[in-house]
């Protein structure tokens, strides 16, 4: 995949996600050490969430949501930079932000009717992570609350990069975002309902690079899943051999992009980590597509999402396997 231009921001120091066998240490022992280091303690919660506000009242929640809507002016949206997890060939990973243009060899194309199902469940997410104004991609999900948005873990939490945890704030989801317009309205996250899996937020394990948040209704009082036609249903434990229709907002494009490609195999560099290996698809996504959904079948089900790029790999994109122990635990009860 094409290497993005030099980044203007790097959140903390690069995380060391060691993917190669150290000299003189058996691979099986490394895998065991990784399991012990990254597995949550017995009885620990499967997911973590952004710090709770002290007993927020309904009025306080509404005021906070209004501040987010006020914050994301057209100028700030235009100045936001793509938020991405990238790995080099030696296994170093870092969260980077930039405003790259889509690479010439990119395999995605503009979606001509983003407001029509099944495309309408996809959208752009604007976030503030530390001092950075960034954006990712995400998907409205079909759950009983009708308020859930799914994205990559690094879009809501920095994965303990540089030794401390930073949660994203001012999250705003805009389904079918098109050239600055919001055809279904804007959906602000609830401050106390932003979630990441513990294996990601405490250890930066890419097998669990998944994030989710609940949103307030739009200005018309409509929940996000209802507004976009029902939301995508999460599929768990299916064969990895699917044909995926992936979506996102890479680079500085103003319109939704899509790419259809099959499963191309598991990422061997994720094998030492505790958890199901990540899988790759034959789509060359540019930075900015992080968190974009991988739909299957008629487009009503989501069975993956864009997580990370390998620097130097010009043909593949990688994401977590959708299992009960990954996304199933993340969205339980949401």
Whole-model pTM: value is: 0.85
Decide if 258 is inside a domain.
Answer: yes
The C-alpha atoms of residue 93 and residue 192 are separated, in whole angstroms, by 28
Decide if 178 is inside a domain.
Answer: yes
Residue 20 has pLDDT above 50, yes or no: no
More confident residue, 56 or 252: 252
Return the percentage of the chain with pLDDT > 90, whole number: 60
DSSP-H helix ranges across 184-297:
198-201, 224-227
**pLDDT confidence of residue 313:** 79
Give me the CATH number covering residue 307.
2.40.10.120
Decide if 250 is inside a domain.
Answer: yes
**pLDDT confidence of residue 55:** 60
Decide if 4 is inside a domain.
Answer: no
Domain count within the chain: 1
Distance spanning both ends of the chain, measured CA to CA? 35
Confidence of residue 60 (pLDDT cuts 50, 70, 90): confident
Decide if 1 is inside a domain.
Answer: no
Decide if 3 is inside a domain.
Answer: no
Return the percentage of the chain with pLDDT > 70, whole number: 79
Tokens 């870092």: give the residue. 94
- Buried b vs exposed e over 170-206: b needs ≥16 C-beta within 10 Å? bbbbbbbbbeeebebbbbbbbbebbbbbbbbbbbbbb
Residues 269-287: pLDDT tens digits?
Answer: 889 889 999 999 999 887 7
Mean pLDDT of 191-199: 94
Mean pLDDT of 189-196: 94
Residues 204-230: pLDDT tens digits?
Answer: 899 999 999 999 999 999 999 999 999
**pLDDT confidence of residue 310:** 83
Q: What is the mean pLDDT of the chain?
A: 83
Local structure of 119: helix, strand or coil:
helix
**pLDDT confidence of residue 149:** 98
Decide if 45 is inside a domain.
Answer: yes
C-alpha atoms less than 13 angstroms from C-alpha of 115 in its C-beta half-sphere:
7
Residues 66-113: pLDDT tens digits?
Answer: 999 999 999 999 888 887 787 666 556 667 776 555 554 567 899 999
Structural domain containing residue 265: 9-331
CB-CB contact of 316 with 246 (8 Å): no
More confident residue, 3 or 172: 172
Residue 198 has pLDDT above 60, yes or no: yes
Mean pLDDT of 105-125: 91
Angle at 301 between CA 284 and CA 285, to 5 degrees: 10
Decide if 2 is inside a domain.
Answer: no
**pLDDT confidence of residue 255:** 92
């Amino acid at each position: 995949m094409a290497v993005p231009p030099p980044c203007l921001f790097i959140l903390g120091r690069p995380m060391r996600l060691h993917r190669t066998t150290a000299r003189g240490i058996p691979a099986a022992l490394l895998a065991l050490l990784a399991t012990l280091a990254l597995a949550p303690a017995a009885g620990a919660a499967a997911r973590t969430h952004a710090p709770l506000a002290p007993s927020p009242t309904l009025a306080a929640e509404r005021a906070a949501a209004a501040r987010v809507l006020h914050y994301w002016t057209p100028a700030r949206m235009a100045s936001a930079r793509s938020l991405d997890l990238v790995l080099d060939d030696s296994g170093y990973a870092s969260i980077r932000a930039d405003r790259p243009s889509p690479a010439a060899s990119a395999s995605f194309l503009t979606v001509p009717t983003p407001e029509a199902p099944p495309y309408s469940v996809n959208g752009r997410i604007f976030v503030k992570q530390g001092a950075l104004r960034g954006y990712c991609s995400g998907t409205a999900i079909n759950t009983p609350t009708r308020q859930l948005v799914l994205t990559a873990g690094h879009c809501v939490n920095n994965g303990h990069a540089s030794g401390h945890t930073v949660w994203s704030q001012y999250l705003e989801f805009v389904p079918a975002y098109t050239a600055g317009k919001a055809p279904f309205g804007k959906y602000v996250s609830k401050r106390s309902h932003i979630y990441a899996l513990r294996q990601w937020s405490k250890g930066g394990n890419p097998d669990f690079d998944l994030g989710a948040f609940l949103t307030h209704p739009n200005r018309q009082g409509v929940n996000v899943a209802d507004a976009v036609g029902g939301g995508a249903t999460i599929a768990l434990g299916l064969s990895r051999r699917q044909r995926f229709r992936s979506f996102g907002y890479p680079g500085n494009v103003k319109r939704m992009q899509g790419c259809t490609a099959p499963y191309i195999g598991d990422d061997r560099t994720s094998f030492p980590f505790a958890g199901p290996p990540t899988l790759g698809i034959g789509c060359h996504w540019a930075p900015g597509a992080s968190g974009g959904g991988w739909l299957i079948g008629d487009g009503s089900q989501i069975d993956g999402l864009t997580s990370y790029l390998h620097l130097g790999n010009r043909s593949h994109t990688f994401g977590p396997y959708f299992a009960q122990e990954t996304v199933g635990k993340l969205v339980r009860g949401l």
